[in-house]
Structure 1
Amino acid sequence: MSKPKVLIAFYSRNGSTEILANAVAEGAIQEGAEVRLRRVREFVGTDVMSQAPGWVESAEEMNTKYDAPTEADAEWADAIVFGTPTRFGSISSELKSYIDTLGGLWFQGKLNGKAGSVFGSTSSKHGGNESTLLSIYTPMAHLGLVIVPLGYADPAMFKAGTPYGATHVSFRDSVKPDEDHLDVARFQGRRVTSVARGLLHTRIVGASS
């Protein structure tokens, strides 16, 4: 059977969500996936970005490392994993802008039955990690994705993360994700890949019968 194809489309300003994204990718690869790691681009100008110290420099650095996600990436994938920092308890506008470009695929039904999952980070404790992940479940349901939560299906889940997806609190960007949080993200990559493989097998069997 061909490798499950996993798209990890994330937005990160200061690096915490980027680190989680790479851990999710690591777990997916461990489980045998082919991975595309993509960073969503800003849609505000440098005049706005320069008001937040380090934003321009961080964006330039990450944009040299990662391509921007495209509609073609979503069509290619067997699983789509979204990553976002929290913005007032909900999804970042940057990631939402990418999701909003998928309307054409949605209309054609080309996202139905793909696995979907989410992870995220926030600056402050109780800053909205869980509400942010749950807010992304709504557009995922509209897209027809099979939502893959983490539950407590791995020992890592009893140390960090949430049953909805991997998370991190950066305490105003002073703390990077530790091994406990990275273990949850790696588990998320493995779990999504495993579910995507099962869904892919079902589609292949159905097409040949």
Structure 2
Amino acid sequence: MSLKPKILIAFYSRTGVTEALANSIASGACEAGAEVRLRRAREFVTEDVMERSPGWREAAEEMNRRFEAPTEMDAEWADAIVFGSPSRFGAPAAELKAFIDSLGGLWFQGRLNGKAASAFASSSTTHGGNETTILSLYAPAAHLGMIIVPTGYADPILFEAGTPYGASSVSENVARAPSPADLAVARFQGRRVAKVAAALRGIHDHDASAT
């Protein structure tokens, strides 16, 4: 059987900062031989609410043209899921959390047990909640039976940017694009998750062939 890992990157992004990290994680995973699905969680507020924040609706429409919404089928297809979100008061955005909450059926059937999970985040300000947001995403991953894969300090780039929990970026309240070091951490995270997912898939395939 092929050990080519399948990676779902399920993220929410409003201004494109988290999207940029997601794209770099995808690049790293592809470098490691993975098949990748990039999916953007959707808003569930009304357009009136979106209009209160200039550019929100337009940016959402543009990103939604580029990315499909994540589904249960995507999660079941994947060998690993990488969750990404801007920090909202130190926690994941409701849009991404709504997708995670939709996975209850797969949880009940044990269909996510043994898959790899990782996470990344962005914030508007320094100390704006990136680490707590990533750690908050690992709690539901544990409930879903997934195997958590942090970045650690497994690559020298982690001493320049990111966190030991996952890639991150600070946009300084102006939606500033992630730095080259931020993106390098994200690519490393993609490679690391792909390698772990491939190893886990090899174990699962071996167990299946032995039964």
TM-score scaled by length of structure 2: 0.98
Q: Find the residue that maps to 1:83 and give its secondary structure.
A: strand
Which stretches in structure 1 are left out of the alignment for 5+ residues?
none
**Residue in 1 aligned with 2:65?**
64
**Residue in 1 aligned with 2:122?**
121
Alignment-mate amino acid for residue 145 of structure 1: M
**Residue in 2 aligned with 1:55?**
56
Contact 2:70 2:99 in 1 (8 A): yes
Deviations 1:96-133 (A, max 9, x none): 00000000000000000000000010001111110111
Contact 2:10 2:40 in 1 (8 A): yes
Contact 1:69 1:98 in 2 (8 A): yes
Q: How much has 1:202 moved relative to structure 2?
A: 0.4
Alignment-mate amino acid for residue 184 of structure 1: V
Deviations 1:137-162 (A, max 9, x none): 11110001100001100111111000
Alignment-mate amino acid for residue 49 of structure 2: V
Q: Find the residue that maps to 1:112 and give its secondary structure.
A: coil
**Residue in 2 aligned with 1:187?**
188
Q: How much has 1:2 moved relative to structure 2?
A: 3.6
- Runs of 4+ residues deviating >3 angstroms: none
Q: Find the residue that maps to 1:86 and give its secondary structure.
A: strand
How many residues of Structure 1 are paired with residues of Structure 2 in the alignment?
209
Alignment-mate amino acid for residue 65 of structure 2: T
**Residue in 2 aligned with 1:27?**
28
Alignment-mate amino acid for residue 58 of structure 1: A
Alignment-mate amino acid for residue 136 of structure 1: L
The CA RMSD over aligned residues, in Å, is 0.7
How many percent identity over aligned positions?
Answer: 63
Which stretches in structure 2 are left out of the alignment for 5+ residues?
none
**Residue in 2 aligned with 1:139?**
140
TM-score scaled by length of structure 1: 0.99
**Residue in 2 aligned with 1:108?**
109
